[in-house]
A and B are shown apart, each in its own frame.
Chain A
Amino acid sequence: MVRTALDQVALELSNLGKSFGPVEALKNVSFKINKGEVVGLLGDNGAGKSTLVRCISGIHAPDKGEVKVNGTAVQINTPLDARKVGIETVFQDLAMIPEFDIVDNLFLNREIKHKNPLLAKLGWLDKKAMQKRAKKAINRLNSRIPSFDTQIQSLSGGQRQAVAIARAVNWGADIVIMDEPTAALGVEQSAQVNELINVISSQGVAVLLISHNMQHVVETCDRAVVLYQGESVADVAVDEVSKEDLVALITGAKSQAQIAEIHAA
């Protein structure tokens, strides 16, 4: 199943590289994600997945290479830059303030200001408007969330994940990056997150899913990009390869060409 009905490239990375002193964490990463497509990013520990996520979301600035969003080359040096071009990241730790309630987390650093321009200049919050929009954002994902003034720390892992995804989508993101969204979740909650991913990709959002969980990738992704020692070594449609193939690619046991040969034979 390759969902490229829209067939427009949302995100394109070419020759991305990033070094930390002598350590070359990313050497050469290139791949594309189309609108409405879910692409899994696979790789062993230390393959450069986290560094890549950080480069795309503006935590680190890449040293070389190019990032194109909707066909336009962009410079992403800060998290705000990433947001401005429509990239939202759901971090592994979700980047939520545990003491804040759902609404405050959804609108952190993007608060809706008071209608009065003078008060708005002061940064006065329009709490009612934020409540209203929070409800819309959560409803869009068909998620069940208790009340909106619940503190994040008293939500379940799946609910927190849903809030984090809602926050990403709420900002009209074209591209959502998810870093190990189901790592800390049980079976049922993982299924809920998969469902959320389906919902947002069907709304045209391009999703980059970083995961260790092969099963999860096979279930939710259209394509898989494999990182090996800081390089993107394979880009395959998940229904054309087996899980064993993916493992072989991740560990560097086989190359994409070798696998294609075996399948052709």
Chain B
Amino acid sequence: MGLISSTHSISRYHVDGKIEGSITEKVRNGLIKHSIPKIESEYDEILAGWAPVESPYNPDFNKFSFLFGTYFLFSLRIDKKTIPAKLIQKYMVIEIEKKKKESGRDFLSKNEKSEIKETVTDILIHKIPAIPNVYDVLWNYEEKNLYLYTTQKAANEFFETIFLKSFNLKPIRLFPYTIVETKSKFSNPQKDRVLTLAPLKYSR
């Protein structure tokens, strides 16, 4: 569980909007609907979905809780198949040699080579297992705060897309401007003054 590890990387979100009806039930349904499949897909290069924090590799939200105190806590799992470039290179050389022999030619065209590369990549993707990465998500629904325990851009993007699909709520990334807009008690004229600020020049 990333949340109880010794060091953390965290990106923060403000969750805009409200869930109508039973919040816990709607969250449970969203998590189940968009949970990562138990069986790995042979064809997908990348697969992402929710998983319980206590059982990220055997996701079952009926068995494991996502309620911790007044927080919702679950994980985002991203399974990605990465083919090492050298592996593609190796099979490319083998296939190119094979094709040259079959055709009796000394060289292959650019198109033929890219076709071979495509076939080789497809075959390898089916054979290679996906590497899972698990990132915890801690959501304080009442205070509209959400913490994603990673700062990796790709993980943030997956998170934002899946979260919106699952709960129909838009997570707004917290950075200087959005902190002013969503977390400050500044009056509108004060906010306007902030928005007119320009970078400071400290040197004379």
Are A and B subunits of one complex?
Answer: no
Residues of B at the A interface (CB closer than 8 Å) are none
Residues of A at the B interface (CB closer than 8 Å) are none
